[in-house]
Amino acid sequence: MSIDLSYRPEVVELIARTELFIAEHVLPVENEFHGDVAAAGGDDLRRDLNAKAKAAGVFAPHAPVEFGGLGLTMSERAPVFEAAGASTFGPVALHIGAPDEGNVHMLAHVADERQRHEYLAPLAAGDVRSAFAMTEPSPGAGADPNALNTTATKVDGGWKINGRKRFITGADGAGFFIIMARTSGQPGDRGGATMFLAPAETEGISVDRHIHTTDKSMIGGHCEMTFADVFVSDEDVLGAVDEGYRYAQVRLGPARMTHVMRWMGSAVRAHKVALGYVEQRQGFGGRLGDLGMIQQLVADNEIDLAAARALLVRACWELDQGSHASDATSIAKTFGAEAFSRVADRSIQMCGGLGVSEDLPLVRIANELRPFRIYDGPSEVHRWAIAKRAVGRVRKERQE
Amino acid sequence: MSIDLSYRPEVVELIARTELFIAEHVLPVENEFHGDVAAAGGDDLRRDLNAKAKAAGVFAPHAPVEFGGLGLTMSERAPVFEAAGASTFGPVALHIGAPDEGNVHMLAHVADERQRHEYLAPLAAGDVRSAFAMTEPSPGAGADPNALNTTATKVDGGWKINGRKRFITGADGAGFFIIMARTSGQPGDRGGATMFLAPAETEGISVDRHIHTTDKSMIGGHCEMTFADVFVSDEDVLGAVDEGYRYAQVRLGPARMTHVMRWMGSAVRAHKVALGYVEQRQGFGGRLGDLGMIQQLVADNEIDLAAARALLVRACWELDQGSHASDATSIAKTFGAEAFSRVADRSIQMCGGLGVSEDLPLVRIANELRPFRIYDGPSEVHRWAIAKRAVGRVRKERQE
Amino acid sequence: MSIDLSYRPEVVELIARTELFIAEHVLPVENEFHGDVAAAGGDDLRRDLNAKAKAAGVFAPHAPVEFGGLGLTMSERAPVFEAAGASTFGPVALHIGAPDEGNVHMLAHVADERQRHEYLAPLAAGDVRSAFAMTEPSPGAGADPNALNTTATKVDGGWKINGRKRFITGADGAGFFIIMARTSGQPGDRGGATMFLAPAETEGISVDRHIHTTDKSMIGGHCEMTFADVFVSDEDVLGAVDEGYRYAQVRLGPARMTHVMRWMGSAVRAHKVALGYVEQRQGFGGRLGDLGMIQQLVADNEIDLAAARALLVRACWELDQGSHASDATSIAKTFGAEAFSRVADRSIQMCGGLGVSEDLPLVRIANELRPFRIYDGPSEVHRWAIAKRAVGRVRKERQE
Amino acid sequence: MSIDLSYRPEVVELIARTELFIAEHVLPVENEFHGDVAAAGGDDLRRDLNAKAKAAGVFAPHAPVEFGGLGLTMSERAPVFEAAGASTFGPVALHIGAPDEGNVHMLAHVADERQRHEYLAPLAAGDVRSAFAMTEPSPGAGADPNALNTTATKVDGGWKINGRKRFITGADGAGFFIIMARTSGQPGDRGGATMFLAPAETEGISVDRHIHTTDKSMIGGHCEMTFADVFVSDEDVLGAVDEGYRYAQVRLGPARMTHVMRWMGSAVRAHKVALGYVEQRQGFGGRLGDLGMIQQLVADNEIDLAAARALLVRACWELDQGSHASDATSIAKTFGAEAFSRVADRSIQMCGGLGVSEDLPLVRIANELRPFRIYDGPSEVHRWAIAKRAVGRVRKERQE
């Protein structure tokens, strides 16, 4: 018991192996297709890269050992996922991308024996993909989950689900859905939500359209969906009825952090591309990299990346201790998402005209990173939660 | 003589007419083609919109009256170009986009009678497009114009031009080029540059490729070009030999400001889209637009836009007084370009997931605006120039 | 009617005269007493500097001509007050400091003939000082004026005022007070306030203590006061009963702008001190002023000052047109106050260890400027008001 | 070997004891004297508080065990010093303030047996204070140590030192000095510096004046000094001749981090004062602490503090591993110093008018924190060093 920031040799070795794998097998494809995973083959590409990742011993390092993973702790995932994030296709290749990675995590915590066998095992193995159907179009659950509008009504032997969902990542092509629906209370209430498991082919489930966003690396896109009288049997209720928000918490803290890990890798890559450029490009009587204003951009990138990484280490360690780590994950997510956008933007600026061109991968990295300030809770919502807790602590102390 | 910030009634009326024209004829096309001017038809679209603009009495308001324009001062162009900028296709429609608008401005100042007839008249009328071939690949003239590498060698009856150019906006399809080439001195020297006029079909001129950048609204793209033994006769020298940098200054100050005007229009549009969203979208117990953190984003947009506009007014007035307005235009350009990116980014943030999607035009506006912190001199170069002059003034005072 | 940013020759000349006067008569005293106006003599100093200002023809340039002033418009005050603000004692010297300057402005608009003779005339002449008693300790009127708690109860021939006030600038030594008190409604209501005039020696008025703040240039300090059964006759009601908030608006817009003008002068001075330092100080192989990171600080100061000045010009022109200019003054105030703090902070940074020392005036300028982000409405309140109006405009358009 | 962010129980207990000690014995004195340690008694106060700290078992926790300290690692100092920093007098009370703390650290590494007995032992015990005489007036060693101007010339049996020093913290009343002087090379050269030990009463040493800065908590002030023909015997050379810069590095990395630790405590205190205020103060229809814009300030404080702490943990751990940790300490110092100023500024803003008054300790905390962006290397110098190393790494990779 005392401060230690080093990793087990196995993890150190896995980081190196991951870096090598990304450089050899993943980056070339990403570059060829300008980071558009659908254009690069979608699920066909995924299966191909997954096979190579298995061969290289880097597949699904976060999955429970019993399901063929390496069982890394959150703390250990951080540097490995960052290494994978050096390519925007890296998470797909290692099967550690959203939403599957978070779903594996949550199912491992909540699913019963049968569900583990039926849903978790094939998901962990990469045989199927999954999607987490939670957010809804206005006036439903967007940044504010309590606004949940989709309903599940008790019927004989199960539930009937009705509602519309929006921004369902990976929906197109998913093998099954985890559906969040209201089983009690009214939109606006805390509580009253339940999670349901449903194979994609279940009657009444339809993927209506893709919402085209600036990020292009997630297989299955971000979709609008309709659930119309979808029947889910009682045995496919995930965990207990009305406990959906609680399980969502189990998922959300770690899911936020793995987002930070992966996108950290992309931000680091942008910074390296820019460093490579300013180290060579001449101008104003010297190398750009020796000019004061460029040095400021370089240094600010280094500072931002170091701070984001340090906050991530803290949050992961708290999660590994069994804490919800609400503050630590909100802080690491908010700072990280904003820092990564700043890093990408400075990297573009350092490269001048080329920076805003497709000749370099910077613009597409910036476009992958931008949504992270919105996905998984906009910065404003996290700040609101952080402040509420801080002021609440003072309030409580005063009342004691 | 005393502070007045009002416009002539004719200008006020022209602003209104321009807004209407953009809304009716331009925005629908832009939206249909997601802001990609090439996909929307390129020069065919341009000719169509130009004809409609002429019919509506809003075509080329900046052009000299003798060439069919309205002869607006810089101060008067500001609100009109801003109105046109509400669509990213607006500048093309009114024929006030880069680089033609700046080329018209410069030719009106520098061209001789024959050149005015041969080059300026058809350009002002929109019969042809033009390009300004100045910037070069490394180690040539990028942000630092003194690094000019392309050479013009005196030959019998004219000059032979050799060199490579990069980021030549509008090159593909241009009717003629204004070429900046070194006629004396070495790369790195101040001075020694000359401007040449050359029809696009001149032997030795080739447009090699498009550099794909985040902005999609400029017809003819941003190109790489080669000039191989291009012969230009003496009568197509623009102005005097070795005076190219001086004329470039004539062009650059106003060109910077018209960039600010047009992009201001886009930034204002982004802000309005976001305002429209937060005024309606519900969440966290009310309308988003009534939440403090959203109000902060709204207010910061309003402040940024007001400050950029106020700096623009100042710079245009100085230009209209016949000043180079080096400080005022550098300041307005630098602040404006950075402010517009902030405005677009905040507007995206206000709209949440939709903000990063193609459902709203915000991402493409942000992508149009981003390069402006690099084009026409990166912010770093302008800051360097501003500081040099400020410190230089102190130095001079001390030496007196 | 068309953009003009020049000043009448009389104003240009007055600016120059003011600069000279400040340099010769005011800065030496300020420097000797490290900017502490009380230590420098308080009202004795004021009377001395006022006499010199009268002799130099720069006294009270804003006051109505009939009261011996020069009757400058708001637009014209801007550069003159800025010149005066080059010393933190300048506003006192020219009798253009808060709160007297704003009180002169308001009395000129609202006072009746007798009140003009009795209160405005001696105030404009600098024979007495005044204070504006509006803000109150919690839970009264702070940033939120509607919380007004002090009451005025109708009695025979006049009113009885009771309440506590806080942050009453210039209270200690003021000749009379303008008291804002509630004559109808409850704390929290809009409306129901009235303004009263009361000589300082009126029974029941007491100045309880000085609140020591970081600014040291305002004579009479910022005080806590008690009004206990203070009788004010009907003829000393300022304007109409229950119209106090409306008159406060008359005062607040211009008062905000003159704050910006004066503090602009201080920020410009800080910037000049820093420029003088970096132009000479050697380090890292050259003059500090030639290093890129220092140039960035210099340029950012220049940009901030130019933007604040441009916004001020806009707001003053709107006020001169008879508009309330609520948006323009809120924007200029908010941007200006924040920009000036940034300028002072960068100036300190440029001067290194000396920057945080009393060897240079930078720290005391920063300390004068800091409260401006709070006085006259904290930035947060202005942003809230700006956003409310912006969202409100959209709402209104939709309802039409 | 794997991530651990917990502390030994002894350290946890020491943190609690330190917090209690500060609250009971130190804060009351600091508040009474508004943070001015000279006004509060200077060395008399120090001796009194040191005695109390010894009694409470919290004295000099960083000192080697053989000298009566607790021998805490850098990692362990972090939370203890932060707890002490909750009062600006805390570091003096625990004898962990600059420059003594860094001098103890360096002497423990470099001093020989005799020097340890003669200088380190009484210093560690708090019997005397010390000063580190390195920085010089222009054109000498300021932010750029290579400019070192003070010379030491070899004479019989020792050295003669001549030069002027500036910003020598703690000089007035110090028992001895560690003097950095040039023993070879020219100003501007790297290397050629040597450290010398000299009792304060040595002939030729004079403390000329105090430089009054915004921070008021360091006993002995920041002074200008003259060394005129000061004789130092060979046995009082500290370490080897010409190795001064190397030893300075030993001192500077940890000294930077203990600065961060102590000032973190002050920033946390400012944040808590503001939280206490906004949790109670009413306005705009509720508690300030429930308003969105205030929540943003609160959350940004929480984020800044968490990030600074996380970077500090990283840097300390690297130092404890025996690394120079040049990047990690520069990053933690630069981010920390800037973050603390932001935190103090936001805390002031949250408290409105009271925030800028002496009624709350916020202004004096801000004034203690401001210089930290300059002391121990201005942010610009650290950014320059960070960028140089980052670009240098790329250069080296390319050359391989």
CB contact under 8 A, B374 and A352: yes
> What average pLDDT does chain B have?
95
- Mean pLDDT value of segment D267-293: 93
**Among all residues of chain C, which has the CA nearest to that of D351?**
C374
Q: How far apart (Å, rounded) are the C-alpha atoms in residues C386 and C256?
A: 15
Q: Is the pLDDT of residue D256 over 70?
A: yes
Q: Is-contact C92 C26, C-beta < 8 A? A: no
Which comes out higher in pLDDT, residue C186 or B276? B276
Q: What pLDDT does residue D21 have?
A: 98
**Is B294 an interface residue toward D (CB < 8 Å)?**
yes
Q: What pLDDT does residue A217 have?
A: 95
Q: Nearest-CA distance from B175 to chain A in Å?
A: 24
The residue with tokens 């004010």 is: C232
Q: Nearest-CA distance from C369 to chain D in Å?
A: 11
Rg of chain B taking only CA atoms, in angstroms: 21
- Mean pLDDT value of segment A144-158: 92
> How many CB pairs below 8 Å do chains A and D form together?
181
**Among all residues of chain C, which has the CA nearest to that of B12?**
C2
Q: What pLDDT does residue B143 have?
A: 72
Would you place residue A158 in the very low, low, confident or very high pLDDT band (cuts 50, 70, 90)? very high
Q: Is the pLDDT of residue D283 over 90?
A: no
Fold entry, domain A130-238:
Butyryl-CoA Dehydrogenase, subunit A; domain 2 (2.40.110)
What's the ipTM?
0.96
Q: What pLDDT does residue A57 have?
A: 96
Contact residues, chain B, for A375 at CB < 8 Å? 353
**Is C391 an interface residue toward B (CB < 8 Å)?**
yes
Of D309, D354, D287, D289, nearest to A390 (Cα)?
A: D289
Considering Cα of D367, then D369, then D375, then D380, what sign does the dihedral take?
A: negative
Would you place residue A1 in the very low, low, confident or very high pLDDT band (cuts 50, 70, 90)? low
Q: Nearest-CA distance from D374 to chain B in Å?
A: 21
Percent of chain A with pLDDT over 90: 89
Q: The whole model's pTM is what?
A: 0.97
Q: What pLDDT does residue C1 have?
A: 63
> In 3-state terms, what secondary structure has residue A357?
strand
Verify cis geometry, omega within 30 degrees of 0, for the bond prior to D139: yes
Domains of chain D by residue range: 9-97, 130-238, 245-394
**Among all residues of chain B, which has the CA nearest to that of D296?**
B293
The 10s digit of each residue's pLDDT in A313-327 is: 999 999 999 999 999
Residue A153, number of CB atoms within 10 A of its CB:
12
- Mean pLDDT value of segment C17-32: 98
Contact residues, chain D, for B296 at CB < 8 Å? 292-293, 296
CB contact under 8 A, D317 and A3: yes
- Mean pLDDT value of segment B83-96: 97
Q: Nearest-CA distance from D400 to chain C in Å?
A: 29
**Among all residues of chain D, which has the CA nearest to that of B297?**
D293
Report which residue type is found at C190.
R
Burial status of residue D160 (CB atoms within 10 A of its CB: 0-12, 13-18, 19 or more):
middle
Report residue C159: phi and psi, to 5°.
Answer: -140, 150
Contact residues, chain D, for C383 at CB < 8 Å? 293
Would you place residue C191 in the very low, low, confident or very high pLDDT band (cuts 50, 70, 90)? confident
For residue B348, how many C-alpha atoms fall within 13 Å in the half-sphere facing its CB?
Answer: 26
Among the residue ranges B47-51, D61-65, D159-163, the one predicted with the least confidence is D61-65
Which comes out higher in pLDDT, residue C249 or C398? C398
The residue with tokens 């832009």 is: B30
Would you place residue C25 in the very low, low, confident or very high pLDDT band (cuts 50, 70, 90)? very high
Q: What pLDDT does residue D333 have?
A: 98
Q: What is the DSSP string of D226-271?
A: EEEEEEEEGGGEESSTT-HHHHHHHHHHHHHHHHHHHHHHHHHHHH
Q: How far apart (Å, rounded) are the C-alpha atoms in residues B84 and A306?
A: 44
Question: Taking chain D, what is the end-to-end CA distance rounded to the nearest angstrom?
Answer: 32
Q: What pLDDT does residue A144 have?
A: 77
**Is D291 an interface residue toward A (CB < 8 Å)?**
no
**Is C281 an interface residue toward D (CB < 8 Å)?**
yes
**Is C249 an interface residue toward A (CB < 8 Å)?**
no
Token digits for A262? 């992966």
The 10s digit of each residue's pLDDT in A56-74 is: 999 999 998 988 888 999 9
Residue A39, number of CB atoms within 10 A of its CB:
12
- Mean pLDDT value of segment C119-131: 96
- Mean pLDDT value of segment B237-266: 93
Residue C45, number of CB atoms within 10 A of its CB:
21
CB contact under 8 A, D379 and C166: no
**Is D287 an interface residue toward C (CB < 8 Å)?**
no
Q: What pLDDT does residue D197 have?
A: 98
Q: Is the pLDDT of residue D180 over 70?
A: yes
Contact residues, chain B, for D292 at CB < 8 Å? 291-296
Contact residues, chain A, for C292 at CB < 8 Å? 291-296
Q: What is the DSSP string of D270-323?
A: HHHHHHHHHHH-EETTEEGGGSHHHHHHHHHHHHHHHHHHHHHHHHHHHHHTT-
Would you place residue A262 in the very low, low, confident or very high pLDDT band (cuts 50, 70, 90)? very high
**What HEC string does chain B produce?**
CCCECCCCHHHHHHHHHHHHHHHHHHHHHHHHCCCCCCCCCCHHHHHHHHHHHHHHCCCCCCCCHHHCCCCCCHHHHHHHHHHHCCCCCHHHHHCCCCCHHHHHHHHHHHCCHHHHHHHHHHHHCCCCCEEEECCCCCCCCCCCHHHCCCEEEEECCEEEEEEEEEEEECCCCCCEEEEEEECCCCCCCCCCEEEEEEECCCCCEEEEEECCECCCCCCCCEEEEEEEEEEEEHHHEECCCCCHHHHHHHHHHHHHHHHHHHHHHHHHHHHHHHHHHHHHCEECCEEHHHCHHHHHHHHHHHHHHHHHHHHHHHHHHHHHCCCCCHHHHHHHHHHHHHHHHHHHHHHHHHCHHHHCECCCCHHHHHHHHHHHHCCCCCHHHHHHHHHHHHHHHHHHHHHC
* β partners of residue C154: C159
**Among all residues of chain A, which has the CA nearest to that of D275?**
A391
Considering Cα of A96, then A100, then A102, then A105, what sign does the dihedral take?
A: negative
C176: which residues sit within 8 A by CB, 6+ positions away? C119, C123, C128, C130, C131, C197, C198, C199, C200
Would you place residue B388 in the very low, low, confident or very high pLDDT band (cuts 50, 70, 90)? very high
Q: Which of residues 315-344 of B touch A (CB under 8 A)?
A: none
Contact residues, chain A, for D287 at CB < 8 Å? 391
> In 3-state terms, what secondary structure has residue A315?
helix
**Is B352 an interface residue toward A (CB < 8 Å)?**
yes
**Is C294 an interface residue toward A (CB < 8 Å)?**
yes
Contact residues, chain A, for D289 at CB < 8 Å? 387, 391, 394
- Helix, strand, coil percentages (3-state) for chain A, rounded to 5, are 55, 15, 30
Picking from A1, A5, A313 by the largest number of D CB atoms within 10 A of its own CB, the best residue to mutate is: A5
Name the residue facing A370 among B352, B354, B356 (closest C-beta): B356
Q: How far apart (Å, rounded) are the C-alpha atoms in residues C87 and C97?
A: 12
Fold entry, domain C245-399:
Butyryl-CoA Dehydrogenase, subunit A; domain 3 (1.20.140)
**Is A283 an interface residue toward C (CB < 8 Å)?**
no
Chains in contact with C, counting 3 or more C-beta pairs less than 8 Å apart as contact: A, B, D
Contact residues, chain C, for A292 at CB < 8 Å? 291-296
Would you place residue B1 in the very low, low, confident or very high pLDDT band (cuts 50, 70, 90)? low
b/e D236-269 (16+ beta carbons within 10 angstroms → b) = bbbbebebbbebbebbbbbbbbbbbbbbbbbbbb
The 10s digit of each residue's pLDDT in C152-185 is: 999 999 999 999 999 999 999 999 999 999 999 8
Report residue C127: phi and psi, to 5°.
Answer: -75, -30
Chains in contact with B, counting 3 or more C-beta pairs less than 8 Å apart as contact: A, C, D
Token digits for C394? 């959209």
Q: Is the pLDDT of residue D212 over 70?
A: yes
The answer as to CATH 2.40.110.10 being correct for domain B130-242 is yes
Fold entry, domain D245-394:
Butyryl-CoA Dehydrogenase, subunit A; domain 3 (1.20.140)
Contact residues, chain B, for C317 at CB < 8 Å? 3-5
Give the residue ranges of DSSP H helices in C85-222: 90-94, 100-110, 113-115, 121-124
**Is D293 an interface residue toward A (CB < 8 Å)?**
no
Q: What pLDDT does residue D1 have?
A: 63
* β partners of residue B210: B223
B392: which residues sit within 8 A by CB, 6+ positions away? none
Q: Is-contact A81 A262, C-beta < 8 A? A: yes
**Is D8 an interface residue toward A (CB < 8 Å)?**
yes
Report residue B204: phi and psi, to 5°.
Answer: 100, -10
Name the residue facing B293 among A212, A348, A383 (closest C-beta): A383
* β partners of residue D159: D154, D232
| Of the options 3.20.20.140, 1.10.540.10, 3.10.150.10, 3.40.50.1980, the CATH number for the domain spanning D9-97 | 1.10.540.10
**Among all residues of chain A, which has the CA nearest to that of B361?**
A213
Q: What pLDDT does residue B180 have?
A: 96
**Is D151 an interface residue toward C (CB < 8 Å)?**
no
Would you place residue B189 in the very low, low, confident or very high pLDDT band (cuts 50, 70, 90)? confident
